Structure 1
Amino acid sequence: MTVIGLSQIRLSHDSRYPWLILIPQINNCSELDDLSFEQQIEVLKASNILSAVLKNCFFPTKLNIAALGNMVKQLHIHHVARFEYDDAWPGPIWGRGHAIVYASDKKKALIALLRRSITNSVYATAN
């Protein structure tokens, strides 16, 4: 979808939840403390941008941020906007029902919105 600093940003395929995944592009990295302190700061900055984007675009009840890594070892950090009315509330989203993939046109529109919002947030953070 896009890149922030040293991290690739992806949109989850599950349309039930606004859900972004931050993936630091560092080899052999499965835990946050595998990163240097400077890299950790860069990842935290990117995480803060994703948090702001999800809050500003979706107005969630709660933002869930998690680095699980049980299925995929590469460090990746999930950012999920949660709502009191969503399928899994107040429990975790993992293992709950089946993913509903985005319709192609809706996915394209959402990616465009998120990219604009990320670009604006990155610009605002830099100034």
Structure 2
Amino acid sequence: MSSQIQTFAAILIIGAVAFVGFGVAASESGVATPTSEDITLSDSGAYVDERDALGYGDNETVVHNGTTLDEGTDYSWNTSTGELTRLSGSSAPDGATVTIDYAYEVPSKITKSIQSTLSAGTIPLPLIILFLAVVAVWGWL
């Protein structure tokens, strides 16, 4: 019975580590892509068009009427969400159209495949791992 419990524990641990490991690897792999777009700079913030990005670069350039704006003085840029927000005291007025050049990470084809497989296996995969662990305890494996 002791070896069956050890097998049960080993299957659960290996299964959990593998499931989490694939998820982390998939969420952190992407291809950097530069782009440029016009966006409204407002006090309430606005999101860039590339909403399915894994993350955004911290090397953005924001231009209003030919003048490059300063991050921290004129605007803030959220590299996690892609949100551009006008700061009070900005040289650009609220609601101004600005051009932002930025880079974003899109999921690679492999990453998208892993994510779709993991999302499809969100419920069945842990149940299969649990089933194998129970079968191991009963001595069928």
TM-score by length of 2: 0.26
TM-score by length of 1: 0.28
Which entry has the higher C-alpha Rg, 1 or 2? Answer: 2
More strand by share: 2
